[in-house]
Structure 1
Amino acid sequence: MLEILSSNIWIILIAINYLLVILAAFTVLTKNINPTKTISYIIVLVFFPFFGLVVYYLFGQEYRKNKIFNRKHILNRKIIADVSERLKPDKEEVRELKDDLLDEKIKLVKLLHSSQNAPLRIYNDVKIIKNGENKFKLLLADLKKAKKHIHMEYYILRDDKIGMQVIDILCDKAKEGVKVRLSIDDVGSSISRKNKNRMVESGVEWHPFMPVLFPGFTGKMNYRNHRKIVIIDGIIGYLGGINVSDTYVNYADSDIFWRDTHLRITGESVKSLQIHFLMTWEFVSNEKVDIEEDFFPRDHCEECVAMQIAASGPDTDWANIMEVIFTAIVTSEKYVYLTTPYFIPNEQIITALQVASKSGVDVRLLIPKESDSWTAKYATNSYIESLLEANIKIYRYCKGFIHAKTIVIDDVFCTVGTTNMDYRSFNINFEINAMIYNKEKSLELKSHFFEDLKESEAIDQERWLKRPRIEKLKESYCRLWAPLL
């Protein structure tokens, strides 16, 4: 009997595999999710025995999402209810705001307010920061001046050169009596046990977001916290694409030039950032957050840069950020200039860009020439031909790697944040963006876009169509994985 089993072990395992595949495929089909995503999962399950089941277990199952993030959704609603009433903007100020730019994009304001209770914050001062070295020069100085609390939430925080500078300050400030709270993603971040213990001994409160058993082998695990935000004393906020790692700082000996964009914010929108941090903190710490007066100080800002802070993730009812980007594109009248390191969009965004371009809007897309992901690079390339056919201008950044996630539209609207133009950012990860309704900031971001074009090459449609067949095959293969990337 044992001999028969041993001689047929592979047949038995294959039979078990495909029995499980049938059950998994049936489950995927009955979810009524995006058809492209459904087909991608079924292809992986059918054509990659055993491996397909592992992929489905890690990425396809929703039971963890439903169980875990339903609790987070409830916590979010409670915290918002606790603090929103006192932070409501003055209706008369909103009504009296003499800003034609806001009138042009009022659909975006209403969309975010209705879907996420994201109020428009009028009085803000915003500094657009280019590249990590400039961000950290400002951030380190601000951290050193903290008097009451430091709240940090990062996808990547490593204890390398720049990371240790940040950790040193956090430990020093905690010893001084400043309340330091730190949330880091357990997959993206890498901190030694020694430095973790040092932070605890110094009084830094820190918690990993969604801990995993083997973070080194789960680089694409679902439901990661991709946000990068800092709140200092409830007065200063940081938001954007730059993580805490030497990779993001252009040192003299850096292997590659890293082009990125971040924001430093003072004013009313810092309160919105604070709310989102507190919602995450209550989730990761598993403790009730006591709302302190120091979290929301009365600090009047004279500058008038209207903005909304938009967040999305598995715990939100709607794909808030994707919906705003879609609406901004389809309501554009003059131009859409979009920069993203990963362009693996859904059909809604593709259609929006094509329709805008065919309607006479100047649509331009800036992506890296060389990506940090082979699969993402070729998946991105698979979309280029259809965009070129719609007269969309596409550029590839050649100076290094462009990691900025920005959009500027019609000199009246711009957004900077953590959201990539891909399935993962739209549907799976926790993201956060600043939606800015201001001519000055839009023009500034527009100038940065054209500066980056000087370091880029335009893709010629005729030459692109003649690219080698092997390149097209790679693109088609990687496109199959697009919904899973």
Structure 2
Amino acid sequence: MQIFDSLSQQSWFITFIPPLVVLIELLAIFSAFHALRHVRTSQAAVAWVIGLVTIPFLVLPMYWVFARHRFEGYREAIRAVGERHVQSVASVRRELVTDANVRTTTLDTSLEYLADVLDTPLCDGNTFDLLIDGAAFFESLLQRIDAAEHYVYLEFYILRDDEIGSQLADALLRCVKRGVVVRLLYDEVGCLRLPGRYIRRLVAAGIDVRAFNTRQGFVNRFQINFRNHRKLVVIDGATAWVGGLNVGDEYLGKNSKNLRWRDTAVAIRGSLARKVQAVFAGDYYWAARTDLPEAIWHSEPDTPSHSGLAAVCATGPADQRPRATMMFASAAATAKRRLWISTPYLVPDDALVVALSMARARGVDVRLLIPSIADQWAVFLAGYYYEQQLAEIGIPVYRFPEGFLHQKCVLVDDDLVLIGSTNFDNRSLYLNFELMVAIAEPKLIADVAEMLEQDFAESSRSNASGESLRPLFARVGTAIARLFSPVL
């Protein structure tokens, strides 16, 4: 009997395994040709082709999950919604988009240059409050949520069912009881650890809760590599919050792992809030395939003003151009005196390294501020490579010593500030939906300059030329991590 079983197993092996091997090889060859045509950089295309040809069993599934950088269907979803809600979608486009390849400003300032490069409109008459760290952010947000009259829109990458998460949920439940419309978008990957009971509690109370769901549609079915990394709140179309903070106790220093999560946001009042609302509306169209009937798109005519000039910089993998890279490159191109960048992750692409090099060559004070502890080890190790690369061109990198530095902030001279969710890494540049606000308001710029001066004063330079930074095993890890930088 055992002999027959053995023969049966051999017959099965001979019948099915060779055809399976041939099929995988054919799929790998097809994927290699696909990589040559569609992968963003030639270096990455070569790496994928070599891997697909030599070890197809391992690399083939990785290619179809991680290699794509273009998100399909987002624009089409907005177009489909527009066929049924023409006025609503037209309002969103008016708030977010100017004509492509057409100059719409005088290009006299850094903000105008950036707005023209990104085809995003300027708006004025805004006021801003800089919110440093979680206590200021959540106090401002929760107070205003309790005063909401018509609607509250929220979009976060991470939500936690902890103390501050419960406070936010309670505030939203109070809104619903007053008849205020509440809509919440979250990223499925970012909220993998969020208990289902948290969402069920909100939905049961009448809150519209939706996952952004990047895996919608056949083409995106296996694309778990895309994320909606935006963090924004809009209340009544008049007030908005944009920054780097998610909803979690770690931003209040209540996380046992890291005593302090250093982060920054900005509270906005004025016409820029409607542009942030338009970003939420586009994401909501994708998630829900319908409009926001209660949204206020028109306010009382504002007195013309050149104060509080600002623009939104909404970028993502549905863009036809590398707009996130263009945003940072624009800041570098217009800097005359200083370009200070604070970011939790340092994995820039080649274009940004060149842009920083050109600014430094003009004598601009270019410096970067990053954490001294790891949040994601692969990204952390890859950052050491770029630290040394920047040191060779005279750009210092400082490491923040207290807790985990999570803020995403750019200061250009005394002319422009960018605050939001976009990290200085390939994931934010090409794979994530991100949001920054670009602001040219003197008081906010002065506040940000003072904040960054304090941050740099608390930090120390970590990439001094010729200095040995780490032992051999860490240098090996850095080299390996750098190979995966396009998907970090």
Band the TM-score falls in, shorter-chain normalisation: 0.7 to 0.9
CA shift for structure 1 position 174: 0.9
Unaligned runs of 5+ in 2: 1-6, 99-103
Aligned partners of 1:125 and 1:305 also within 8 Å: yes
The residue aligned with 2:418 is 415
Residue 322 (structure 1) aligned with residue 328 (structure 2): no
What SS does structure 1 have at the residue aligned with 2:282? helix
2:58 is matched with which residue: 48, 51, 76?
A: 51
CA shift for structure 1 position 137: 1.0
Moved more, 332-341 or 294-303: 294-303
Aligned partners of 1:153 and 1:277 also within 8 Å: yes
The residue aligned with 1:92 is none
**For each residue in 1:418-461, what CA deviation from the matched residue of structure 2 results, as whole angstroms up to 9, or x when unmatched?**
10111111111111110112333222212211211232221253
CA shift for structure 1 position 61: 4.3
Residue 202 (structure 1) aligned with residue 208 (structure 2): no
The residue aligned with 1:383 is 386
Structure 1 residues 341, 19: closer, same or farther in 2, change over 3 A? Answer: same
2:74 is matched with which residue: 69, 86, 92?
A: 69
Aligned partners of 1:40 and 1:483 also within 8 Å: no
**For each residue in 1:377-428, what CA deviation from the matched residue of structure 2 results, as whole angstroms up to 9, or x when unmatched?**
1111111222101110111111111000011011111100110111111111
The residue aligned with 2:159 is 157
Q: Residues of 2 paired with 1:50 and 1:250: CA distance?
A: 45
The residue aligned with 1:28 is 35
Q: Residues of 1 paired with 2:302 and 2:412: CA distance?
A: 29
Q: Residues of 1 paired with 2:470 and 2:97: CA distance?
A: 55
Residue 175 (structure 1) aligned with residue 173 (structure 2): no
RMSD: 3.2
One-letter amino acid matched to 2:130:
I
Moved more, 392-401 or 441-450: 441-450
Q: Residues of 2 paired with 1:21 and 1:262: CA distance?
A: 45
Q: Residues of 2 paired with 1:220 and 1:469: CA distance?
A: 35
CA shift for structure 1 position 88: 11
Q: TM-score, normalised by structure 2?
A: 0.86
One-letter amino acid matched to 2:381:
Y
CA shift for structure 1 position 234: 1.3
The residue aligned with 1:108 is 114
The residue aligned with 2:487 is 484
Aligned partners of 2:408 and 2:423 also within 8 Å: yes
Aligned partners of 1:326 and 1:352 also within 8 Å: yes
Q: TM-score, normalised by structure 1?
A: 0.87
Structure 1 residues 161, 300: closer, same or farther in 2, change over 3 A? Answer: farther
Q: Residues of 2 paired with 1:86 and 1:335: CA distance?
A: 30
The residue aligned with 2:362 is 359
Aligned partners of 2:415 and 2:445 also within 8 Å: yes
What SS does structure 2 have at the residue aligned with 1:454? helix
**For each residue in 1:239-273, what CA deviation from the matched residue of structure 2 results, as whole angstroms up to 9, or x when unmatched?**
01000112222138563311001110001100101
- Structural mapping, 1:242-321, within 5 Å: 242-251=245-254, 255-290=258-293, 292=295, 294-298=296-300, 304-321=307-324
Aligned partners of 2:110 and 2:416 also within 8 Å: no
One-letter amino acid matched to 1:165:
Q
- Sequence identity of aligned pairs in percent? 29
Q: Residues of 2 paired with 1:252 and 1:61: CA distance?
A: 35
What SS does structure 1 have at the residue aligned with 2:259? coil
CA shift for structure 1 position 151: 0.6
Q: Residues of 2 paired with 1:24 and 1:200: CA distance?
A: 42
CA shift for structure 1 position 54: 2.5
Aligned partners of 1:407 and 1:414 also within 8 Å: yes
Structure 1 residues 163, 332: closer, same or farther in 2, change over 3 A? Answer: same
Q: Residues of 2 paired with 1:157 and 1:466: CA distance?
A: 36
Q: Residues of 2 paired with 1:395 and 1:374: CA distance?
A: 18
**For each residue in 1:30-88, what CA deviation from the matched residue of structure 2 results, as whole angstroms up to 9, or x when unmatched?**
2252123323433554565533223222222478x33x224235358764524566999
CA shift for structure 1 position 10: 7.7
Aligned partners of 2:243 and 2:420 also within 8 Å: yes
CA shift for structure 1 position 22: 2.1
Aligned partners of 1:235 and 1:299 also within 8 Å: no
Structure 1 residues 46, 396: closer, same or farther in 2, change over 3 A? Answer: farther
Aligned partners of 1:40 and 1:481 also within 8 Å: no
One-letter amino acid matched to 2:31:
A
Q: Residues of 2 paired with 1:243 and 1:330: CA distance?
A: 31
The residue aligned with 1:372 is 375
Structure 1 residues 192, 466: closer, same or farther in 2, change over 3 A? Answer: closer
CA shift for structure 1 position 199: 1.4
Q: Residues of 2 paired with 1:88 and 1:39: CA distance?
A: 36
Unaligned runs of 5+ in 1: 90-94
What is the count of residue pairs matched by the alignment? 466
CA shift for structure 1 position 180: 0.6
Aligned partners of 1:267 and 1:299 also within 8 Å: no
What SS does structure 2 have at the residue aligned with 1:430? strand
